[in-house]
Amino acid sequence: MSESRHSSKSVYALIGEAAIARLIAAFYRRVKDDPVLRPLYPEADLAAAERRLRLFVVQYFGGPSDYSAERGHPRLRMRHAPFAIGRAERDAWVAAMLAALDEAQIGEPAYSEMRQYFENAATFLINRPDLTLHEPKP
Ligand code: HEM
């Protein structure tokens, strides 16, 4: 039963390196013009950030582990601690990634697997839940 529901091949094996590179390039084109996201990214040139995310996504979805060879254990919560991520920032990140998945024409079953991961991981990276509550300060 389960074999017929989805392939056991990794997303990387299904779509390959070039499709992941197109996806991450499409994502950063959006970050560059996004009024919520762009101010969070510290570097003037987003090329290095684009490369780090690309290597991470390749590795996470079953490709070569160049990300960890260069950067060590991902520790995403820790690495995002310097950036204030509330609900609005999480939603802007996810919206840019979903648009990039469409632009890069990532097909099923890779599309759903990637979408689910990005939505969940971005929620897990919220580190300023108070940013969206707008509670009056005492
Ligand atoms: C699925 C969710 C996400 C994943 C998988 C992810 C992944 C990554 C990775 C791998 C890096 C590079 C870490 C390093 O090696 O130093 C990074 C950096 C960064 N992320 Fe995320 N991230 C996610 C969500 C977010 C969100 C929601 C925000 C804010 C809206 C965000 C903002 C940043 C910023 C500002 C950097 C620094 C850029 C740089 O690498 O120079 N990320 N992220």
- Domain spans of the chain, in order of start: 12-132
pLDDT of residue 2: 39
> What is the CA(15)–ligand 1 centre distance, in A?
22
Is the CB of residue 131 below 6 angstroms from any atom belonging to ligand 1? no
In the predicted model, is pLDDT for residue 14 greater than 60?
Answer: yes
pTM of the complete model: 0.90
Is the CB of residue 36 below 6 angstroms from any atom belonging to ligand 1? no
Mean pLDDT calculated for residue range 128-134: 71
Mean pLDDT calculated for residue range 98-120: 98
Residue-wise pLDDT tens digits, 21-68: 999 999 999 999 999 999 999 888 999 999 999 999 999 999 999 999
Separation CA 17–CA 106 (nearest Å): 12
Is the CB of residue 53 below 6 angstroms from any atom belonging to ligand 1? yes
Mean pLDDT calculated for residue range 82-92: 96
In the predicted model, is pLDDT for residue 137 greater than 70?
Answer: no
> What is the CA(97)–ligand 1 centre distance, in A?
12
In this structure, which topology does domain 12-132 adopt according to CATH?
Globin-like (1.10.490)
Separation CA 70–CA 62 (nearest Å): 17
Q: Kindly tell me the sign of the dihedral angle through the C-alpha atoms of 91, 97, 46, 26.
A: negative
